Amino acid sequence: MKRILAGLFVVVSSEIGMLLQLEPFWSWHTPIAWTGYILLVDGIVHVRRGNSWLSDSLPEFAFLAIVSFPLWLVFEFYNLFIRNWHYINLPGNAVLRDVGYVWAFATIWPAIFETAELVGTLRHPGRLWSGATIADVEADKHDRVPRRVSAAGVASMVAGAAMLAWPLVWPSPYLAAPVWLGFIFLLDPLNARLGGQSLVADYRRGHVALSSHVTGGAPSVWVRRTDRAINLMAGGLVCGFVWECWNYWARTKWIYTVPILEHVKLFEMPLPGYLGFPAFALECFTMYVTVRLILGRGRGRPIGL
């Protein structure tokens, strides 16, 4: 409960300060408010489930926040070619500007994963995890064994690579969709091949009963093959709406130059752009799992369940 109150205090304070154009909130609203949001959502998840990132997976949460910064820089790199957004009213001091970048970007992956987990608690209010049994939900022994990439998986990876190469070879502001989809097609089959969490493995698994020592009785609670994808996409859409809402009144902010229905906007984002947030959440999942596998951090905490 203390985490919920602390997070709520930070969010409300930053929101009021930003609307009153008070510093540091007016210029630093994004990193401040999202830090409070993460505390707030994590606290709610812990109350509802008895388990959360900050309570039970703090070392991995720190790792997640650290890698969130370079992972987002991948999309900043692509923006050099598609030019779909730019920032205004950044601090003139280079050190302060860089601190703002790092802090703001470090909240992106944690915010999406925390929100996806909150969605999971709302969709399945009776589901309770414990740290000792969290792996039971994620995969059975069969899923832990790496498999060969199927023909469909190879086709997916080729398609993903082509999507990601397209904006680099032929830069255009109309090529946002390949960027927001490419990493899903490229990396998810690879993650499944390496025995990591993946959408492909979820589909293979179908329905998995939670063991009785998780549910406290008969294994009557089920993890469906679509649960992770639904939770992540819903979490991405929620975060996207909140990002745009908070960005709209802030002094330091981003402006979109998306050429599709660019004058039909909700806040600064043209309406078609909101379709990208669910896909982005899935990309956050696939990219993070790949990094975790490459760095030898194992399966880690289940994401989006």
Q: What is the mean pLDDT of residues 55-59?
A: 91
Residue 297 has pLDDT above 80, yes or no: no
Give the Cα separation of 125 and 272 in Å (integer).
32
- Work out the burial of residue 274: count CB atoms within 10 Å of its CB; fewer than 13 is exposed, 13-18 middle, 19 or more buried: middle
How many Cβ atoms from other residues are within 10 Å of residue 300's Cβ?
20
What is the predicted pLDDT for the residue at 214? Answer: 40
Residue 41 token pair: 């959502």
Give the Cα separation of 203 and 205 in Å (integer).
5
Cα dihedral across residues 47, 128, 197, 153: positive or negative: negative
What is the predicted pLDDT for the residue at 202? Answer: 85
- Greater confidence (265 vs 3) lies with 3
Total-model pTM:
0.89
